[in-house]
Chain A
Amino acid sequence: MLEFRKDLFADERDDNLNVIGKGEQRQDMLGHVTGRTRFFDDHGFGGLLHLKVVRSPHHHARIRSIDVSAAERAAGVKRVIRGQDVPLNKNTLLSLIGFGKDDEPTLAVDKVRYKGEPIVAIIADSDAEAMAAAKLVRVSYDPLPTVFDVQEALKPGAVVVNETYPGNYFEYHEKYDHQKLRFGDVEAAFRTADHVLEERYQMSPIEHASTETNGTIAAPETNNRYVVHSCAQGLFFSLGTTAKILALESNRLHFIGGTVGGGFGGKVDSLTEPLAVLGAILTGRPVRYVLGREEEMQFGSPRGAERHVIKDGVMRDGRIVARQITSYFDAGAYTRLTSYGVVKCVAHMPGPYTIPNVRGDAYCVFTNRVPATAMRGFGVTGVDFSIEVQMDKLAHLVGIDPMEFRILNAYRDGDMKAHRRVAHNTALIECVQVAAQKVNWPLSETARRASSLSGGGGPRAAIPPTVTDESGRIGRPETRQAPPQLAPGAAAPLPAYQSPPAVPIYQLPPAHQPGAPLPNHPSQPAAVAPPPAPIPPVPNPPATPQHGAARFSSVFTRRR
């Protein structure tokens, strides 16, 4: 079922693959069991200073004044850092690949947007002295109204969380309020479907809770450089982010890391590196900035909450004819990586199923919660959970075994996906068959004989015309009555829709002959029976080439 591409990197390959199936010792294991593995905090420095941060006790407040005079005079304090000391005090992580606008300060200056947001950093001889001095910082606030629900945040007139994005949504390509997927005509299909089922799924935020908290030790090195012992999961990503925020040439930063005490996505945000390096620059001494567990929970990003509303049209015989998914990702107060998670979510719709009519809309929404970030398949995990629970409900609705229901609707090689990409190397049918076998789940003869390699393509490879509204646009979802009100003096209203330039449509490669052995496949089992007839697709008018509504290859290139 797998296709091995031995032509790729042929000159670099050693096909003497004799390691699988044998025990092989990891190179880092000896260090782990002897306690010699050095994590970022396991480095001793003479004259080490400790950095602690004053954080917002409010979810949303204007900062009226900050008084650090008492803290500066406190015992052991070497330096107090404020927002104006940070060379570029506004950043967004994916700016390194040209995606999104700078929206998050290293230290808040005029406003705090979530509880736990950093405002002032104190550097002292000891942790205890830094913490004691932090208590002497006087910040006076004017608390502001808050918004914690994604759909509330998108309503016109909602509290503006993050002025960089006055509509409370991330602006894709600097003009679109969400990511959109359109394939066929879901409304027409809902009208002809035997059943329509709409359900709402809500995920909670999840804290990674690595046993090692986020942290950094930065120290002046020779040649006017700084050595940085970092917990970062993406070391060079963190190096670039630190260089940008501190307006330093990146070759003045010597990052050491890669040994991470649990990451799971929670150590990609460069939460501590910029301040630790800035501290080392300003004091000329090694500076250690390590989050306590409470800070890790409050300031370290979680996997964000997601809400998915799924509406499906299904026929009595079990065929899903339409799927509409509206997704709201709670980014918290700043973008961090949620904008990217949303793209992944839309790329995953409508799940591993061939459905002739699909509509997807996904929003990256700002609220007064802790900013969210990556975690283990983020963007996909939540929508996948929702889709699979929905699949069980649909199977129950039409009275079909849930395993068979999945095999019936599974995508097959040669099928056209809603993103206008042809499905290759599909294996959902085989996965379900193996899972059923492992738990002795009875499958019908038809389901057991089904194969991802046959029955796909043909009419299932067609691209149906995409329904448009009277102005020729592919339309806003009905969950949004009107575009959110922009703050006075903020960004201009959305410009009129311009047709993107035509892109070449992917051409189907020569179809694989069902039953013929795959190239280089060692043990393709002989087909036990002729492949089943293709599942009849919903009749569609002849396909006309259309642009992809969402071109994911272009997501990380600024379109203007």
Chain B
Amino acid sequence: MARMPVQFRLNGSDRAVFVEPAETLLGTIRRGLGDFAPKFGCGQGTCGVCTVLVDGEPRLGCLTLSVTCEGRSIETASGLADGPTLHPLQVAFMEHFAAQCGFCTPGMLMAAKALLDRNPDPTRVEVVEAIAGNICRCTGYEPIINAILAAAQQRGARRA
């Protein structure tokens, strides 16, 4: 089938790419545009390691067709830091040992960012709910939850 042109913003930069009609956003970001931060884990939308933000909303890259992202803004973990300055979530993940093998981390960070962007002061239950679709097989959920709560607290302190 004929390839189709798609344009979207990826981590603040305008990108244009030709995609197969059935190509997933995950495939386009990784193999088409060379951003390897989002991962492939299951291809079935069950593990969450491919989580990216589309217009600020968490989306599963493996179940999102690239052609549906025309004109949208995509964020991945590669764009989380502000230049050399780490995002508070990244700092908190480092300080709280919230990664073991690191494979779920990029998706986990994006799910957490979506939460904090719309709810800067979440409860523990809300944090658990926000990362419920992200599997960490090294089972490091407690440090991850603590890191997200700590990042929220730190951002709150900065605003006050």
Given contacts A211-B104, A212-B39, contact A35 B78 (CB under 8 A): yes
Identify which of B31, B43, B76 contacts A35 (C-beta below 8 A): B76
Who on chain B is nearest to A25 by CB?
Answer: B94
Q: Output the residue of A37, A210, A263 with the most chain B CB within 10 A.
A: A37
A211 in contact with B36 (CB, 8 Å) = no
Are A211 and B78 closer than 8 Å at their CB atoms? no
B39 & A261 in contact (Cβ 8 Å cutoff): yes
A503→B70 CA distance, assembly (Å): 76
Residues on B with C-beta less than 8 A from A33 are: 77, 86, 89-90, 93-94, 99, 105, 109
Bound form: Cα–Cα A228–B30 in Å:
19
Q: Is residue A44 contacting chain B, with contact meaning CB distance below 8 A?
A: yes
Q: Closest residue to B44 on the A side, CB-wise? A: A293
B103 beta carbon closer than 8 Å to chain A: yes
**In the bound complex, CA of A261 to CA of B77 (Å):** 17
Partner of B36, one of A25, A30, A35, A293: A35
Q: Which residues of A contact B30 (CB under 8 A)?
A: 42
Given contacts A31-B102, A128-B22, A211-B47, contact A44 B137 (CB under 8 A): no
Chain B nearest CB, measured from A137 CB (Å): 22
> What's the Cα separation between A32 and B97 when bound, in Å?
11
A38, B30: Cα distance in complex, Å: 12
Tell me which residues across on chain B come within 8 A of A380, comparing CB atoms.
Answer: none
Contacts of A262 in B (CB 8 A): 101, 103, 137-138
A28 CB within 8 Å of chain B:
yes
A106 to chain B, nearest CB (A): 24
Tell me if B8 is interfacial: C-beta within 8 Å of chain A: no
Query: 1/0 per position for B20-32, CB-CB distance to A under 8 A?
Result: 1010000000110
Bound-complex Cα distance A37 to B99 (A): 12
Chain B contacts of A39 at CB under 8 A? 39, 103
Interface presence of A442 (CB below 8 A):
no
The distance in angstroms between the C-alpha atoms of A264 and B135, with both chains bound, is 15
A36 to B77, CA, bound (A): 9
CB pair B102–A38 under 8 Å, yes or no, is no
Whether B80 sits at the interface, judged by CB under 8 Å, is yes
Residues on B with C-beta less than 8 A from A38 are 36
Q: Assess whether A103 is interfacial by the CB under 8 Å rule.
A: no
Interface residues on A, range: 35 or more
User: Which residues on the B side are within 8 Å of A48 (C-beta)?
Assistant: 31
B49 at the A interface (CB under 8 A): yes
Q: Which residue of B lies closest to A31 (CB)?
A: B102
For the complex, what is the distance from the CA of A264 to the CA of B106, rounded to whole Å? 21
Does A373 reach chain B (CB closer than 8 Å)? Answer: no
Q: Which residues of B contact A260 (CB under 8 A)?
A: 101
Chain B residues, CB < 8 A from A259: 102
Q: Is the CB of B77 within 8 A of A213?
A: no
**Chain A residue nearest to B107 in the complex (CB):** A211
Nearest-neighbor residue (CB-CB) of A43 within chain B? B36
Give residues of chain A (261-276) contacting chain B, Cβ–Cβ below 8 Å.
261-264
The answer to whether A128 touches B20 (Cβ under 8 A) is yes
Q: Does A34 contact B (CB under 8 A)?
A: yes
Indicate if the CB atoms of A32 and B137 lie closer than 8 Å: no
Is A290 at the interface (CB under 8 A from chain B)? yes
- Render A23-67 as a binary contact track against B, CB cut-off 8 A, 1 for contact: 001101111111111110111100010000000000000000000
Cβ contact within 8 Å between A212 and B36 = no
A293 and B105 contact, Cβ closer than 8 Å, known pairs A211-B49, A211-B137: no
Find chain B residues with CB under 8 A from A128 CB.
20, 22
What is the CA–CA distance of A25 and B89 in the complex, to the nearest angstrom?
16
CB nearest to B47 among chain A residues: A211
Flag if B90 contacts A44 (CB, 8 Å): no
Query: Smallest Cβ distance from A257 to chain B, in angstroms?
Result: 13
A400 within 8 A of B: no
Provide the residues of chain B in CB contact with A34, threshold 8 Å.
Answer: 77-78, 80-81, 86, 90
A36 cross-chain contacts in B, Cβ below 8 A: 37, 78
B136 — which chain A residues lie within 8 A by C-beta? Answer: 211
Choose one: B20, B31, B41; the contact of A211 (CB below 8 Å): B41
Q: Is A145 an interface residue, CB under 8 A from the partner?
A: no
Find chain A residues with CB under 8 A from B80 CB.
Answer: 34-35
The answer to the question of A209 belonging to the interface, with a C-beta cut-off of 8 Å to chain B, is yes
Q: Which residues of B contact A26 (CB under 8 A)?
A: 97
Asked if B42 CB lies within 8 Å of chain A CBs, one says yes
Asked if A284 lies at the interface with its beta carbon under 8 angstroms from chain B, I say no
The chain A residue with its CB closest to the CB of B81 is A34
Distance in Å from the Cβ of B89 to the closest Cβ of chain A? 8
Q: Is A532 an interface residue (CB 8 A)?
A: no
A interface vs B, CB < 8 Å? 25-26, 28-39, 41-44, 48, 126, 128, 208-213, 259-264, 290, 292-293
8 A–B contacts, CB within 8 A, in A order: A32-B102, A33-B77, A33-B86, A35-B35, A35-B37, A35-B38, A39-B39, A211-B39
Q: B residues near A, CB below 8 A?
A: 20, 22, 30-31, 34-44, 47, 49, 76-78, 80-81, 86, 89-90, 93-94, 97, 99, 101-106, 109, 135-138
Q: Which 9 A-B pairs have the closest CB atoms?
A: A35-B37, A261-B103, A32-B102, A35-B77, A42-B36, A33-B90, A293-B42, A32-B99, A35-B106
